[in-house]
Chains A and B, each alone.
Chain A
Amino acid sequence: MAAEPKPLRNVLLSPEVVTGEGVPRKVRLRALVKDTDERLLVEAAQRDPSRFAELYEQNFDRVYAYVSRRVRTREMAEDLTAEVFQQALAHLGDFEWRGVPFVGWLLRIASNALADGWKRVAREQELPADEELGSNSDLERWAMLSKLVDTLPADQKQVILRRFVDQRSIRDIALELGRSEGAVKQLQFRALQALRARVRRNHD
């Protein structure tokens, strides 16, 4: 049985662990390459803001996953995510590369934005404590799930998005897609089954 790698969050957020003992060599090299590429990308975006779109695409899923687990509604998650990236772009010149991945900076902005948001809604809503919301490995898993959905067949992906993102009923989806409810349920089943398998495979 292969040795279980260190939690991925350490590889991403703590550069000294990248070279530490116990981290598989393959993971260390991949992290180093990632750091170098990301650093170049950040520096390019600092010179040319239009390059920020690449940073956005790389980090959107993580930021959204981080925020969405900490707010009640989808609207709040979207507002806060938008605020995080807008602030990041506006203050990109202030970012200094110190070996910490760019997403760490984004999550700090998100954390501050959440703290501000919480102050506003704390009196009205009971929000979960930060420590109850899972570790960074969970964050990576959530972010990965979004990418895995993209790998599904088109009809399965469409059903998943309508069902979970839009939270529509099977009947509505069946009407929209022009298929029977049973067929849509089967597509939903197949999609979830595939996603579960892929999550497990990636986790292992």
Chain B
Amino acid sequence: MINSDVFDRLDQAIDEQLADPERKLAATTQIAGMLEVAAELRHMPSEEFRSRLHNSLEEQAAALQTKAGRNHGERVVAMRRRDLEAAIMPSLFGSGNSAYPAQRANFVASFVMHSAAIALLLTSGLWMAGHRDAIVNRGVTLITGASEYVLPPATTRTGGGGGGGDKEHMAASNGSAPRFAREQITPPAIVIRNDHAKLTADATLVGPPNIVLPQTATLGDPMSNVLAPLLNGTGSGAGIGSGTGGGIGSGFGPGLGSGIGGGVGGGVYRVGGGVSAPRALYAPDPEYSDEARKAHYQGSVILWVVVDANGRPQQVKVARSLGMGLDEKAVAAVRTWKFQPAFKDGHPVAVQVNVEINFRLY
């Protein structure tokens, strides 16, 4: 049985301890150990504080959870957006399979340029719709083949030329030229050197086949004043005349005359027979004349143009007229054109071409 005095002494010591925690108490062995425990119990937290802090932390956790949920939702949306972007245009969004990183700036620049191009197309389309009457179709055709448009005989030299001969001491004798053909198999000759040819073909000159020259029984150089004896001329390379090649005349090539190449006459070349076609580098469209527009007049103008060795159009003439001021407009426009000149044997040469310009109203 414990004496109640012990309870009182312990309580008194606790009172003193609570009043002055630093004070050293003299106590019996029986209560000294309990005072040590009592000293530590002073630092016990209150239940009320513990519970209050618990509740406070739960509220804080709930707030964090809400925020985290919101952030998580935003992250999910962002991830989905990234996935979607990557699936649509992986290169644009930098997640392509290439070993090199995609340059987004390039794609942005490309996007801007494409957008500008689309905007330009749309605005131009709208503009065209609003100016329908004012728009004309000025189709231009550069006719470079052997012309199907037969030009009237020129009073001056207008074609190619040719020549030939057997290196004789006298000029070729007079006679008529053979017919023109696209290709030459047998050059013309007054004096036949091989009377027993196994394969025979008619002598031809290279030129438009529809050019018809007066024909006589005897082949010869139509420009020669020599009537006899019958000679092929002083030239070389077969043919007739003083030139070189398979043609007739003083020129060079399989044509007729003093020029070079196929065709008739001299001066500028025509396209073909080793002469390349000129190519238009700068070809602004001609304007539509007011008169023709008001009359809704349409059609084609064919121009006869010599493109010189510098690529400049010379001697622009109307080969087929259309009228109502469109011929003048076409000529005025073509005079401003710039060509890459025709070439023969690697050298620029003047060449005659026909240009067809179509005037159309939408």
Known: A185-B8, A189-B34. A82 touches B53 (CB 8 A): yes
A78, B18: Cβ atoms under 8 Å? no
Q: Least Cβ distance of B7 to chain A in Å?
A: 4
Whole-angstrom distance between the alpha carbons of A68 and B41 in the complex?
11
A65, B43: Cβ atoms under 8 Å? yes
Stretch at the interface among B60-68, B178-186, B318-326: B60-68
A49, B44: Cβ atoms under 8 Å? no
B56, A145: Cβ atoms under 8 Å? no
Interface residues as binary, A74-103 with B (CB distance below 8 Å gives 1, 0 otherwise)? 100110011001100110000000000000
A196, B33: Cβ atoms under 8 Å? yes
From B2, B45, B53, contact of A165 by CB (8 A):
B45
Q: Tell me whether A175 is interfacial, beta carbon within 8 Å.
A: no
Q: Least Cβ distance of B180 to chain A in Å?
A: 97
Q: Tell me whether A161 is interfacial, beta carbon within 8 Å.
A: yes
Whole-angstrom distance between the alpha carbons of A30 and B62 in the complex?
33
Q: Which residue of A lies closest to B65 (CB)?
A: A49
From A53, A161, A185, A196, contact of B58 by CB (8 A):
A53
B44, A163: Cβ atoms under 8 Å? no
Q: Which residue of A lies closest to B38 (CB)?
A: A192
**B58 / chain A contacts, CB cutoff of 8 Å:** 50, 53
Q: Which residue of A lies closest to B7 (CB)?
A: A185
Residues of B with Cβ closer than 8 Å to A?
2, 4, 6-8, 10-11, 14-15, 18, 33-34, 36-38, 40-47, 49-50, 53-54, 56-58, 60-62, 64-65, 68
Given contacts A60-B53, A186-B7, 10 further A-B contacts (CB under 8 A): A48-B65, A52-B57, A53-B58, A74-B46, A81-B45, A82-B53, A145-B41, A164-B41, A165-B46, A196-B37
Residue contacts A-B, CB under 8 angstroms, 5 given: A81-B45, A86-B60, A145-B41, A165-B44, A192-B10
